[in-house]
């Protein structure tokens, strides 16, 4: 079998795509569309409401408004989960994840508010207690029993997604529990049309609501399910070699057909599903650790969980399904002539690909705990020599090779750091410390581009 270095010599790096302004325009347009939709939903209630009378009326109408907004927020959540390529490439997975998390909190809050306000409003109007009114809703109103199940499932998913709970879960477990959101929204959908006062007698509003949900469902089905199946058949990816890089770190080389059609760029990632025993049921996100070519793709992964540990045992010929490419951590983010790449641990993977392909003045700082944890350092040295760039290696042990992650520490290694764009990738704690240090060193926040490992 040929060695991985032979694969590397045979590949040709595609130049990065021209810088486009979509990463600045699309996020703004997307947010404006979301806010406009929310305003339209409130407008639907406003047009349908001639007056609000009494305390019970205020409670009931507040319940109607929060219910409409909760239903709309569910559709937005589905859209953000669809992996629509324009959003993934222009907004970026990190920012989409933050939008999704914020949207999830709004959705849960609006759903809880809607439930409590409607129950209290109807109970006050009918002069019955809350328990009796709740029972009437659940067991006598159309589609309300399914909606109740969806409500409980949505709240449970929100609890599991809370940061404190998420830290205790493996990525694979959290990922599959998160699919319960689809079922919860499906169960709750029909009661909106059969019980919602703004829909019952308003056919145009019903059609608009159906169009909204059918549209986001079509995006989900196409990009999360059908597209991966189509690409698996088209590209027929398989493992070529698994190569150790550092303690607990391996590189997986893959080959396939028509890989140029994937449109992958250095800095992006795929969600990889390896069709091996115990691994086929989950797709985990790993960045490309070498520039993609028409013949080969490579990822470099540290064993931090069951899925990543199993990669070391993959055999050549194992089939692979790849969803992507995703992410906006690419050359299109660059705004300055000079660039600093700042990596922590296995965060080197997307930065190694960018180190080879970003044009101009590029400097690398690679931080790790110990010298033996510096994966891919030989490749980085070769790239630095080839392009006349600088690569700094900083380790915590031994102390003579350490350097504090502070403004002064960064300036000691890169005196002109304030003049550079910074691409940053590493564990959450290191990333937060680096952002603070970079800003203290004079780097504007808009020129700090980072990729997070958090889920």
Q: What is the mean pLDDT of residues 332-352?
A: 92
For residue 353, which of 294, 422, 266, 424 has the smallest C-alpha distance?
A: 266
Tell me what pLDDT residue 15 has.
41
The answer to whether residue 182 scores a pLDDT higher than 80 is: yes
CB count within 10 Å of CB 203 equals: 8
Tell me what pLDDT residue 14 has.
43
Tell me what pLDDT residue 12 has.
39
Q: Which residue has the tokens 């009378």?
A: 53
**pTM reported for the whole predicted model:** 0.78
For residue 305, which of 285, 287, 319, 288 has the smallest C-alpha distance?
A: 285
Q: What is the mean pLDDT of residues 242-251?
A: 93
CA distances from 403 to 40, 223, 367, 434 (A): 54, 44, 9, 12
Determine the Cα–Cα distance for residues 390 and 365; give it in Å rounded to an integer: 9
Determine the Cα–Cα distance for residues 390 and 381; give it in Å rounded to an integer: 9
The answer to whether residue 127 scores a pLDDT higher than 60 is: yes
- Rounded to the nearest angstrom, the gap between the alpha carbon of residue 376 and the centroid of all alpha carbons in its chain is 26
Using CB atoms within 10 A of its CB, is residue 30 exposed (0-12), middle (13-18) or buried (19+)?
A: buried
**Could you give the strand order of the β-sheet that contains 361-368, starting from the edge strand earlier in sequence?**
390-395, 361-368, 338-344, 420-426, 448-452
Tell me what pLDDT residue 440 has.
95
Lowest mean pLDDT: which of 152-161, 411-420, 441-450? Answer: 152-161
Using CB atoms within 10 A of its CB, is residue 50 exposed (0-12), middle (13-18) or buried (19+)?
A: exposed
Tell me what pLDDT residue 8 has.
36
Task: With beta carbons less than 8 A apart as the criterion, state whether 360 and 337 touch.
Answer: yes
9 pLDDT band, cuts 50/70/90, is very low
- What are the pLDDT digits (tens) for 130-156? 999 999 999 999 999 999 999 999 988
CB count within 10 Å of CB 120 equals: 18
Task: With beta carbons less than 8 A apart as the criterion, state whether 184 and 155 touch.
Answer: no
Q: What is the CATH number of domain 334-452?
A: 3.40.50.80
Q: What percent of the chain has pLDDT over 90?
A: 61
Q: What is the mean pLDDT of residues 429-452?
A: 91
**Could you give the strand order of the β-sheet that contains 296-302, starting from the edge strand earlier in sequence?**
284-287, 269-274, 319-326, 237-246, 249-255, 296-302
**Partner residues linked to 272 by β-bridges:** 284, 322
Token digits for 146?
A: 């399914």
CATH domain 236-326 topology: Elongation Factor Tu (Ef-tu); domain 3 (2.40.30)
The beta strands (E) that lie in 223-379 are given as: 237-246, 249-255, 269-274, 284-287, 296-302, 319-326, 338-344, 361-368
Tell me what pLDDT residue 171 has.
63
- What are the pLDDT digits (tens) for 388-421? 999 999 998 877 767 889 999 999 999 999 999 9
Most confident of the following: 26-30, 84-88, 414-418: 414-418
Tell me what pLDDT residue 452 has.
66
What's the whole-number average pLDDT of the chain? Answer: 87
20 pLDDT band, cuts 50/70/90, is very low
Determine the Cα–Cα distance for residues 254 and 274; give it in Å rounded to an integer: 11
Tell me what pLDDT residue 221 has.
93
Determine the Cα–Cα distance for residues 287 and 264; give it in Å rounded to an integer: 11
């Amino acid at each position: 079998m040929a060695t991985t270095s032979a694969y590397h010599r045979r590949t040709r790096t595609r130049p990065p795509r021209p810088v486009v302004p979509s990463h600045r325009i699309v996020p703004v347009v997307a947010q404006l569309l979301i806010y406009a939709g929310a305003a339209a939903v409130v407008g639907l209630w406003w047009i349908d409401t001639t007056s609000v009378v009494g305390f019970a009326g205020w409670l009931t109408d507040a319940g109607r408004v929060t219910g409409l907004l909760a239903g709309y927020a569910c559709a937005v959540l589905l859209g953000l989960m669809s992996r629509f390529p324009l959003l993934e490439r222009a907004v970026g997975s990190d920012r989409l994840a933050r939008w999704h998390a914020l949207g999830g909190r709004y959705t849960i809050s609006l759903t809880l508010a809607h439930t409590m306000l409607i129950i209290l409003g109807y109970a006050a109007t009918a002069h019955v207690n809350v328990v009796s009114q709740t029972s009437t809703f659940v067991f006598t109103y159309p589609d309300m029993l399914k909606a109740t199940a969806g409500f409980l499932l949505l709240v449970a998913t929100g609890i599991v997604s809370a940061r404190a709970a998420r830290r205790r879960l493996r990525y694979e477990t959290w990922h599959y529990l998160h699919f319960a959101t689809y079922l919860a929204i499906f169960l709750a959908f029909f009661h909106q049309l059969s019980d919602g006062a703004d829909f019952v007698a308003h056919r145009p509003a019903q059609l608009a609501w159906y169009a909204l949900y059918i549209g986001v469902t079509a995006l989900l089905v196409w990009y999360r399910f059908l597209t991966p199946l189509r690409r698996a058949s088209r590209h027929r990816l398989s493992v070529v070699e698994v190569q150790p890089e550092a303690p607990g770190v391996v590189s997986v080389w893959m080959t396939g057909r028509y890989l140029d059609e994937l449109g992958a760029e250095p800095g992006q990632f795929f969600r990889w599903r390896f069709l091996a025993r115990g691994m086929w049921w989950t797709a985990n996100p790993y960045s490309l650790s070498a520039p993609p070519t028409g013949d080969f793709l490579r990822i470099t992964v540290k064993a931090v969980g069951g899925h990543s540990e199993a990669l070391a045992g993959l055999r050549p010929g194992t089939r692979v399904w790849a969803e992507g490419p995703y992410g906006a951590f690419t050359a299109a983010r660059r705004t300055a002539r000079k660039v600093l790449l700042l990596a922590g641990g296995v965060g080197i993977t997307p930065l190694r690909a960018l180190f080879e392909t970003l044009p101009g003045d590029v400097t690398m700082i690679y931080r790790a705990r110990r010298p033996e944890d510096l994966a891919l350092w030989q490749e980085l040295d070769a790239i630095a020599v080839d392009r006349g760039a600088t690569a700094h290696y900083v380790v915590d042990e031994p102390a003579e090779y350490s350097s504090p992650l502070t403004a002064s520490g960064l300036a000691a290694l890169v005196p002109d750091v304030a003049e550079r764009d910074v691409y940053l990738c590493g564990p959450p704690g290191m990333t937060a410390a680096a952002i603070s240090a970079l800003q203290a060193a004079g780097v504007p926040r808009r020129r700090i581009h980072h990729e997070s490992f958090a889920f």
